[in-house]
């Protein structure tokens, strides 16, 4: 997997990797990560992905991160 781009953001670590003829858009917050895969043939210019990174996209990512954290907390409670 090869890192091809980082997108600056104040809250998230956003990276685009190239792997097996796909671009992987990775959004990371603390210990949680979301990955979106795109076929390289669908993306002619990596800057196209920047247009997908809207405020709504970031809000939806945050909602999923909160849900992931709640799932993890509940999972930890079951272990104890």
- Measured CA angle at 67 (ends 37, 18), to 5 deg: 15
pLDDT tens figures, 1-15: 999 999 999 999 999
- pLDDT confidence of residue 33: 98
- pLDDT confidence of residue 49: 83
- pLDDT confidence of residue 50: 84
Please determine, for residue 47, whether its predicted confidence score (pLDDT) is greater than 90: no
Please determine, for residue 80, whether its predicted confidence score (pLDDT) is greater than 80: no
Comparing C-alpha atoms, which of 64, 63, 36 is closest to residue 52? Answer: 36
Please determine, for residue 62, whether its predicted confidence score (pLDDT) is greater than 90: yes
Domain boundaries, the chain: 2-79
């Amino acid at each position: 997997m090869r890192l091809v781009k980082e997108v600056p953001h104040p809250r998230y670590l956003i990276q685009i990797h190239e792997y097996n003829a796909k671009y992987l858009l990775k959004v990371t917050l603390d210990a949680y990560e979301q990955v979106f895969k795109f076929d390289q043939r669908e993306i002619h210019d990596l800057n196209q992905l920047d247009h997908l990174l809207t405020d709504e996209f970031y809000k939806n990512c945050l909602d999923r991160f909160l849900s992931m954290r709640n799932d993890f907390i509940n999972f930890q409670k079951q272990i104890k």
